[in-house]
Amino acid sequence: MTFVSWLVFGILFMFSEFATGTLYLLVIGLAFVYPAIAAYLDASSSMQLTVLGAGTVVHVMIVAILRRRKASGKPAAVRTDVGQRVEVIEWRDEGSARVMYRGVEWEADKLRAEMPDAAHGIIKSVQGSRLVIITEADPLAD
C-alpha cells in the first residue's frame, strides 16, 4: 500500500472514534502512521503490516494502563454529610438506631457503645448506607 493509503485508513479509524468514545479506535488510527512511514521508506507489505500490528499493540496497551491507573484511585467525592445533625426516631438494643436525616429515615450506629441514647446525634462517618453517629447526653433532659 502507499503512504497516502495508510494515512487515509488511519484517519477513518480516528473519525470512527466519535461513534464509540473509547479512545481505542483513536490510538489504532494513530498507529497507522507507522506503516505509512514504512511505505514511504519503500518497505515490503509484510513489514508494513508488522509495523502496524506492533504499533497497535503498544498504543492499546498504553490506553489500557492509563485507564487502569485512573480507575484505581479513590473517589474524590467529599462527604458533606459528616458533621450534620440527625434526629433519632428509635433506639434499638444493640446500639443501632433509626434516624431522620434530610427527610429520609436512615439506619445508624453509635461510634462507641458507651455513648448515651440521645434524641439527636452528629454524623461522624458514612459506611455504605449506614450512618455512624456520636451522641451526647441532652442537658435539658434532667
- Per-residue confidence (pLDDT) for residue 40, from 0 to 100: 95
- Strand-pairing partners, residue 106, are 99
Average of per-residue pLDDT across 82-96: 86
Give the tens place of pLDDT for each residue, 46-58.
Answer: 999 999 999 999 9
pTM for the full predicted model: 0.49
Fold of 85-141: OB fold (Dihydrolipoamide Acetyltransferase, E2P) (2.40.50)
Q: What is the DSSP string of 58-106?
A: HHHHHHHHHHHHHHTSPP----SSTT-EEEEEEE-TTSEEEEEETTEEE
- For residue 78, what pLDDT band results from cuts at 50, 70 and 90? low
Average of per-residue pLDDT across 70-98: 76
Domain boundaries, the chain: 3-71, 85-141
